[in-house]
């Protein structure tokens, strides 16, 4: 399956339903897709015109950046990732199980729009990975993204939701430009051996404060 750069809905869908398909085995990747909605020409025009400026300076993602979630003891190196030629999202390579991937074709955390960071739920042998406890977050909890220089952005959880793979609001997760957001994604639910994926996708929505 080929993905063109301007088909951002399709890219978003791939990230949500391929990148996070790590289940009990910890290393099998799901291949079951449901066709995403095709955006209208108006939607595509708005997507390309999304304002990128904000009063809060965005992070320098080329620097040493970490995702910090005190409640669940996460302090993870953030690595830029994007969709590969085969339609799957590249995973962190420097620290695959304890690091996280920032979708670099979307907004930088701190820019207007929906920045997205994903991470593994578990690793081979069903051992915990970086987002093992992500489901414990609730409204009001804090999520930080910080540079080694000390520049830190603070986001507050406003919603935690789980969706079946064929019923996730991809526009809300990847395309909401009404504010400055950071959305965290991992897999959840039961492992489905026949599909090499889990039954749910967990999304933690946060807003810049």
Q: In this structure, are strands 122-123 and 180-192 parallel, antiparallel, or unpaired? A: unpaired
**What is the C-alpha to C-alpha distance for residues 178 and 33, in angstroms, rounded to an integer?**
28
Q: Which residues pair with 200 in a beta bridge?
A: 188
Q: Which residues pair with 201 in a beta bridge?
A: 163, 187
Q: Tell me what pLDDT residue 43 has.
A: 45
State the DSSP string of 67-108.
Answer: EEEGGGTEEEEEEEE-B-TTSPBPPPSSSTTT-EEEETTSPP
Task: Give me the count of residues in the chain.
Answer: 209
31-76 confidence digits (pLDDT tens): 222 222 334 433 434 444 444 444 577 789 988 999 999 999 999 9
Q: Tell me what pLDDT residue 88 has.
A: 58
> Do 103 and 118 touch, CB atoms closer than 8 A?
yes
Single pTM value for the model: 0.76
Q: How confident is the model at residue 26 (pLDDT cuts 50, 70, 90)?
A: very low
Percent of the chain residues past pLDDT 90, beyond the cut = 48
Q: In this structure, are strands 142-147 and 127-128 parallel, antiparallel, or unpaired? A: unpaired
> Do 132 and 149 touch, CB atoms closer than 8 A?
no
Q: List phi, psi (to 5°) of 20.
A: -100, 20
Six-digit token pair at 161?
Answer: 């939701």
Q: Tell me what pLDDT residue 93 has.
A: 82
124-152 confidence digits (pLDDT tens): 888 999 999 999 999 999 999 999 999 99
């Amino acid at each position: 399956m080929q993905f063109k750069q301007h088909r951002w809905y399709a890219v978003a869908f791939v990230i949500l339903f391929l990148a996070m398909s790590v289940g009990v085995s910890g290393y099998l990747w799901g291949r079951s897709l449901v066709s995403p909605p095709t955006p209208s020409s108006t939607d595509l025009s708005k997507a390309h015109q999304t304002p990128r400026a904000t009063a809060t300076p965005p992070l320098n993602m080329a620097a040493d950046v970490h995702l910090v979630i005190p409640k669940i003891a996460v302090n993870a190196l953030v690595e830029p990732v994007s969709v590969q030629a085969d339609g799957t999202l590249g995973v962190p390579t420097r620290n695959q199980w304890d690091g996280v991937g920032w979708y670099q074709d979307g907004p930088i955390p701190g820019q207007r729009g929906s920045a997205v960071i994903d991470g593994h739920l578990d690793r081979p042998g069903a051992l915990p990975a970086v987002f093992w406890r992500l489901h414990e977050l609730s409204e009001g909890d804090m999520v930080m993204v910080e540079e080694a220089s000390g520049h830190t952005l603070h986001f507050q959880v406003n919603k935690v939701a789980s969706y079946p793979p064929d019923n996730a609001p991809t526009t809300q997760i990847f395309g909401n430009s009404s504010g400055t957001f950071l959305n965290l994604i991992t897999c959840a639910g039961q492992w489905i051996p026949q599909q090499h994926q889990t039954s749910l996708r967990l999304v933690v929505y946060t807003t810049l404060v």
